[in-house]
Amino acid sequence: MEQLDHTDITILRILQEDAKKTAKEIAKILNLTPSPIYERIRRLEKQGFIKKYVAILDKKLIDRSITTICQVSMRYHNEAFIEKFEKQIQNLQEVQECYHMAGQVDFILKIHTKSLEEYHDFVKTKLSKIENIGVLNSTFVLKEIKHTSEFYI
């Protein structure tokens, strides 16, 4: 983070907390004028520090209250099978996150569905159709203790 000074870091912290803050509002917090804050934000976007702005939805209000962590182990570990799995998983809307792992499992998926029945249908009609999956191990979240998209910087 050598490219970032204290002001840049503060701007990133503020935007992580509330991406709707305007350059004018951030400038007021930092006791600066809006124009250089606006330019800094644009530079942070251009340099890739800010990838995109999103709205974080309430999963209960949009009826996606079942969170499942699914561990996937592959039968074969050659490059073609792994790339094919990664490509196919991109097309599954139920999968919110996918990580290629080192260790006992090959991939970890975070999946949100309306119900256990919907998750069952997802596994039966979509996930199990992906070639080369050896083992699926699903665990269900009972209570979300902490969920954040903010990085400590």
pLDDT tens digits, 104-123: 999 999 999 999 999 999 99
User: Domain of 107: which CATH number?
Assistant: 3.30.70.920
Q: Is residue 153 part of a domain?
A: no
Task: Indicate whether 74 and 117 sit together in one domain.
Answer: yes
Task: Indicate whether 38 and 74 sit together in one domain.
Answer: no
Q: Is residue 131 part of a domain?
A: yes
CA neighbor of 85 nearest in space, from 128, 41, 32, 122: 128
Task: Indicate whether 19 and 74 sit together in one domain.
Answer: no
Q: What total of structural domains would you count in the chain?
A: 2
Task: Indicate whether 71 and 25 sit together in one domain.
Answer: no
Mean pLDDT of the chain: 95
The string of pLDDT tens digits covering residues 5-57 is 999 999 999 999 999 999 999 999 999 999 999 999 999 999 999 999 999 99
Q: What percent of the chain stands above pLDDT 70?
A: 99
Q: Is residue 58 part of a domain?
A: no
Task: Indicate whether 76 and 132 sit together in one domain.
Answer: yes
Q: Is residue 54 part of a domain?
A: no
Q: Is residue 55 part of a domain?
A: no
Task: Indicate whether 35 and 72 sit together in one domain.
Answer: no
Whole-number Å distance between alpha carbons of 116 and 114? 7
Q: Is residue 149 part of a domain?
A: no
Instruction: Note down the domain range covering 15.
Output: 6-47
pTM: predicted TM-score of the whole model, two decimal places: 0.86
Q: Is residue 27 part of a domain?
A: yes
2 band by pLDDT with thresholds 50, 70 and 90? low
Integer angstrom CA distances of residue 123 from 2, 76, 79, 87, 119: 45, 20, 24, 17, 6
- To the nearest 5 percent, what fractions of the chain are helix, strand and coil? 40, 20, 40
